[in-house]
Structure 1
């Protein structure tokens, strides 16, 4: 399993290097407070990484929130059972 993950990582790193090399011309971005010129490849990789991080954060928060809600429900149900038993 680790070997497969390492090979996949290597393939994606190689694809990123090729992508960056093929898109070396500069692109300008106006961020309202600054103007930045970066290579297309770098901009694409940064946006890809940002999307990956934000997607992972969203998934993690969704799972965490659901688990917290389930634990609260379980605790409430157990508390109700404990008060009903004589």
Structure 2
């Protein structure tokens, strides 16, 4: 299993290197407070990484809040059941 993961990782790294090499032209970005010029490949990889991180964070927060809500409900149910028992 580790070998497959390592091979996939190397494949994606190689793809990133190729993407960066083929898109070496500079692209200018005007962010209200600064102007930045970066290669197209770097901009694409940064956007991909940012999207991946934000997507993972969103999924994690969704699962975490659901687990908290379910735990709160089960604690209330257990408390109500315990108070009814003599």
How much does 1:4 deviate? 1.0
Alignment of 1:6-85 (within 5 A): 6-85=6-85
Q: Which runs of 5+ in 1 are unaligned?
A: none
Query: Which string of whole-angstrom CA distances, capped at 9 and with x for unpartnered residues, describes residues 27-48 of structure 1?
Result: 0001111111000000011111
CA distance in 1, matches of 2:15, 2:83: 61
CA distance in 2, matches of 1:10, 1:69: 40
Give the total of aligned pairs. Answer: 86
Q: Which runs of 5+ in 2 are unaligned?
A: none
Query: CA RMSD of the aligned region, Å?
Result: 0.6
